[in-house]
Structure 1
Amino acid sequence: MRDPWWVADVVSSYGDPAAQHTDRPAHTYLRGNGTAVTLSRAQLHKLVSHRAGAFAARGVTAGDRVALIAGEPEAFMPTFLALLWLGAVPVPLPPPPALGRRDAWRCGIDESLGLVRPRLVCGPAGTLDLLEAGTTAVAVEDLAEAEADVDAYPAPVPLPPDAPAYAQFTSGSTGRPRAVLATRRSLAANCAAITAGIALDGDRDVGVCWLPLHHDMGLVGFGCAAMTAGVPVVFLPTATFLRDPGVWMRTVSAYRGTVTFGPTFAYGLAARRARPDDVGSMDLSCVRVLGCGAEPINAATLERFLAAYAPAGLDAAALTPCYGLAEATLAVSFARGLRTAEDGTVDCGRPVPGHEVAVVDASGAPAAPGAVGEVWVRGPSVAGGYFGESAPETFGPDGWLRTGDLGYLDGGSLYLTGRAKDLLVVRGANTDPQRVEWAAATVPGVREGGVVAFTRPGADTEEVVVVVECAPNAPEGIPDAVRAAVAEPLGLSVTDVVRVRPGTVPKTTSGKPRRQETRRRYLAGELVR
């Protein structure tokens, strides 16, 4: 397959009568009701080109921004690809939460739409009903009905490599979300880097993805890179995984998945929900890449996951810790196997081909080997900046991307320790909040992924606060147990432990805790205990 400048070029080749294997599967969409549909490469080509025609019939042209509210993968992926086909700029946005927080979601959507000012908003009909009156919108269902009456858009619109491919809102874990502009060049470069970094092969690999498609790990990794490598992908709705984390590995087993990814909290959920009878019926010997990224990696969580699924033949060597961020389109580094430093920090591997990673101190000078500093990244995958912002503090004129993440280099491998803005500074000593959160999460009754640590002003120094989500019937002694769980390994005193109901901790749209927002609500007395 030719090296594409953009993913739409790949879809075009899927329908080329001269191309081979057009009858091979491209996407399998598992639905919330348990049914599934598989599209061949040729069928996906036909669907995308007709959906592009349906957009064109509504006046969408190259360069137009179109907000795309995520729904089921079966609706989202062909629509996203159709917009790339037209040369339009899709702006993926999160779906509304299943329960509660809809006012907050609507405010977030309004803020996003106000920033990017799209020509059109597209999404599931029921979701569009939640938007403000007067929004120019089209339901995905209406596009699908119109496809039979419009001509397919004949070929992807050719655009320069530095033209925007899509705009992705960052998850905003430490501040106001921004829209990262991935260019056609950066998207193609990162797809190629991922393909080389984990040796994707269309003849042997099958991807399995439950990840949100409005964020880079799902969108670029499985929506774009897998396609450029000719790898078929099985897509699960994110909500299906969150309701039943065990469905992840069941799907991998059933479809003989070889490549799948998730953040640390997902591995924790899957390990906790693993039932021996379920595991005993699986065959996970097919898995060769079990990627973990999107947040600092907890080795203990991955070890619990491996132990839970080892009876199914899962090979520990398949673990692939990695590092990436939307500002680098997605992937920056991959490791093979789980290796940890003496402090428990996980090796995230070496940079992907054609890219550089540096760790610098506060003055911007290279940090000494093993010394913690800010991670900088340079290479063709670095995105084109933020929509409507110059952001010189992030995208420097020298090509270096200042990530705001902390880590160190050892033997050429990158070890991530946390985010600069989230550090807990108590009596002059720095502690990464993830370590406090991981320790607190070991307490029975504390909800996986529902822990946030931060500091508050104290009389002599900053004081540590830990917010933990617990079920109403959880043991009363959880606060004392959390203090002990943190004090023993870290030697850190926790001043206040706040028990809240599940779903209280504010999260980014990719599921990461918003520490600064949690701290704000705590100090304002807005956390409901």
Structure 2
Amino acid sequence: MLSKEVACLRQMPSGHFDRITRESLRHSSKISMDASAMNGWIVSEGDDQWQTLLHVIAGLEFGHSIFFAGSIYSQDEVEAAVARLPSSETARFAFLTSGSTGKPKTVIHSTEALVQAAIALSDAIPLGGRRMHHLFPPNYMAGVLNCVVLPWVTEGSVVVGSPFSFRTPLEMPFILGESQSEVAWLSPRMIRSLGTVARHQVQLRESLQRHWTLVVSATGPLDLATRDAFMELLQIPVLNTYGTTEHLFISAEKQESDKFSCGSLIAKNELAFATQLEDDFSENFLERSSGVVWAKTPFMATVVAEANQDPMAVRDDASPTLGFWQTGDVGRLHGGCLYIDHRADDMVVWDGMNISPRIYEDFANGNRSVIESMLSLVSHKGRDLLVLFAVTSDEKSRSGVIEEVWQGFGTWDMNLPAPSRVLSVEELPRTHTGKINRRGGQHLFLTAASQ
């Protein structure tokens, strides 16, 4: 058992883990503040989880404002964004992100907002005081809030090393044995990858079962087939959450359920629904229970600005939106639970029909040999085709799996057309945060079809 004083387990180049106390982390975070200040902000950039951890603690413990930028951004982009940051007398966390839109923006929160969001989430899901495994990219909002702020303010501990990669499932038995982590935040892609490998690797399966008592899903829509396959194989509960960089946590599942949703609203959060993505906020949105989701939380960002926007646009509760900001997702509130169907701009219009890609992807992912899938509208010889791309787990039977999926669409009862094509691909196009990038469908089709 680890002492409660151990706040971090850091994986060293040798592979083994150093155990670091809260007091040592405070001391190290003080040192980290001296080397990375710019325009009054501590700049956290690059691909080192350890440095990100120290910068977060510097903000939480010593009242410094921290600017987080992932390694995909150039030095010029980082410096330009920092130059536009407002001065602040209170501690703030700023994130340079492109989110699901692909358009860079800076989102600024008060440090207190992140702390309160973490506490509110830990009241809904039993994560406080646990040993959290951090597998998200450094300087990424989900990693900062979910895997560093939450364990720090709830007297837990965090395991840091390398972000999730294709090697992680193979290395995980050793890592779990050394770190003794108890819970993990995972993206849907991580859940699918671990579940797929664990089905064939007994050592990984037994190691996950021995150590993790809970997995929480974040950063994107988790489909029912992926969750159920993971839970059935490993007997580890998986709880779903929903939030955005601007709102932080919006809803969370408190316990496993036969119905798959994003859970109930976290205390003091409110929702409203528009009919179209382009609609400006109106009070009659509050009367609806489905559509484009607008949300209001006590943790919302104080500043949101596009990368080239100057001066930065400050949003507050006095705005015409009554404090509600659009999430960009389409969903519904039913029985007290929030269901997210798809991104508002993901809707595919084909042959006069509005089609939600997630319906097709959930169906394909129900095949246990399909790791993940993506539906896209592509152009081919003057026609629009509805193409489903699938990543399969067994290369030897790839064609057989694709044939199974194709035949399944021929008999499904969704009252929707089958895809024009089902194609096997080695991987799906992604944004830097790991989310599926549907804009890459056309290029992927040209590559896959030629093979």
For normalisation by structure 1, the TM-score amounts to 0.70
Change (3 A) 1:358 1:223: same
Match of 1:324 among 237, 243, 260: 243
What does residue range 91-110 of structure 1 map to in structure 2 within 5 Å? Answer: 91-94=68-71, 105=72, 108-109=73-74
3-state DSSP of counterpart to 1:260: strand
8 Å Cα contact 1:23-1:42 kept in structure 2:
no
Counterpart in the other structure of 2:406:
483
Structure 2 CA distance for partners of 1:282 and 1:91, relative to 1, 3 Å: closer
Structure 2 match to 1:492: 417
> Which residues of 2 match residues 70-81 of structure 1 at below 5 A?
70-71=47-48, 73-81=49-57
Q: Which amino acid aligns with 2:74?
A: I
> For the structure 1 residues 338 and 196, does the alpha-carbon distance in structure 2 shift closer, same or farther, using more than 3 Å as the test?
closer
Q: For residues 283 and 499 of structure 1, what CA distance do their matches in structure 2 show?
A: 29
Q: Which residue of 2 aligns with 1:164?
A: 92
Q: Distance in 1 between matches of 2:448 and 2:203?
A: 41
Is the Cα contact below 8 Å between 1:279 and 1:309 reproduced in 2?
no
CA separation of 1:426 and 1:250: change in aligned 2, threshold 3 A: farther
- Gap change, CA 1:286 and 1:525, over 3 Å in 2: closer
Equivalent residues of 1:367, 1:373 under 8 A apart: no
The sequence identity of aligned pairs, in percent, is: 18
Alpha-carbon spacing, 1:201–1:189, altered in 2? closer, same or farther (3 Å): closer
Closer, same or farther in 2 for the Cα pair 1:61/1:177, shift >3 Å?
closer
Query: How far, CA to CA, are the matches of 1:401 and 1:306 in structure 2?
Result: 34
Separation of aligned partners in 2, 1:278 and 1:472 = 22
What is the alpha-carbon distance in structure 2 between the residues aligned to residue 463 and residue 39 of structure 1?
Answer: 55
Aligned to 2:361: 437
How many angstroms apart in 2 are the aligned matches of 1:468 and 1:391?
42
Q: Secondary structure at the match of 1:217?
A: helix
1:130 paired residue number: none
TM-score normalised by the chain length of structure 2: 0.81
- Counterpart amino acid of residue 147 in structure 2: F
Partners of 2:46 and 2:449 in 1: how far apart?
29
Match of 1:69 in 2: 46
Q: Report the CA distance between 1:221 and its aligned residue.
A: 0.9
User: Structure 1 412/460 Cα, relative in aligned 2: closer, same or farther at 3 Å?
Assistant: farther
CA distance in 1 between partners of 2:112 and 2:59 (Å): 17
Equivalent pair of 2:17/2:178 in contact (CA under 8 Å): no
AA aligned to 1:40 is T
Listed as ranges, the gaps of 5+ residues in structure 1 are 1-20, 95-104, 120-157
Per-residue CA deviation, residues 44-99 of structure 1 (Å, 9 max, x unaligned), is: 111111222444xxxx367336251122x2333114434664724322313xxxxx
Match of 1:127 in 2: none
Q: What is the aligned length?
A: 432
* Deviation, structure 1 residue 299: 1.4
In the TM superposition, 1:39-438 aligns within 5 A as: 39-55=20-36, 60=37, 63-64=40-41, 66-71=43-48, 73-82=49-58, 85=62, 87-94=64-71, 105=72, 108-109=73-74, 112-113=77-78, 115-117=80-82, 160-161=89-90, 164-171=92-99, 173-202=100-129, 205-239=130-164, 241-245=165-169, 247-248=171-172, 251=175, 255-274=179-198, 275=200, 277-278=202-203, 281-282=206-207, 284=209, 287-310=212-235, 314=236, 318-328=237-247, 330-341=248-259, 346-362=260-276, 364=282, 365-366=284-285, 372-387=290-305, 388=309, 389-390=312-313, 397-438=321-362
Structure 2 distance, partners of 1:327, 1:218, is 15
Q: CA deviation at 1:347?
A: 1.6
Secondary structure of 2:303's match? coil
Aligned equivalents of 2:3, 2:210: Cα separation in 1: 28
- Compared CA separation, residues 88 and 527, structure 1 to 2 (3 A): farther
User: Compared with structure 1, are the counterparts of its residues 486 and 214 closer, same or farther at alpha carbon in structure 2 (3 Å cutoff)?
Assistant: farther
- Given the superposition, is the C-alpha separation of residues 492 and 187 from structure 1 closer, same or farther in structure 2, using an over 3 Å criterion? same
Which deviations, in whole Å up to 9, do the C-alpha atoms of 1:295-314 show, x marking residues without a partner? 1121111111112213xxx4
Partner of 2:387: 465
Among candidates 22, 27, 33, match of residue 8 of structure 2: 27
Tell me, which stretches of 5 or more residues in structure 2 are unaligned? none
The 2-side partners of 1:417 and 1:250 are apart by 37
Shift of residue 378, structure 1, vs aligned partner = 0.7
The offset of 1:372, in angstroms, is 3.4
Deviation at 1:391, TM superposition (A): 8.8
The 1:69/1:80 distance shift into structure 2, 3 A limit, reads farther
Structure 1 pair 409–445 and aligned structure 2 pair: CA distance change class (3 A): closer
The CA RMSD over aligned residues, in Å, is 3.8
The verdict on how the C-alpha distance between 1:374 and 1:69 changes in structure 2, with shifts beyond 3 A counting, is same
- Pair 1:396–1:227, CA change in 2 (3 A): farther
Partner of 1:129: none
Aligned to 1:36: 17
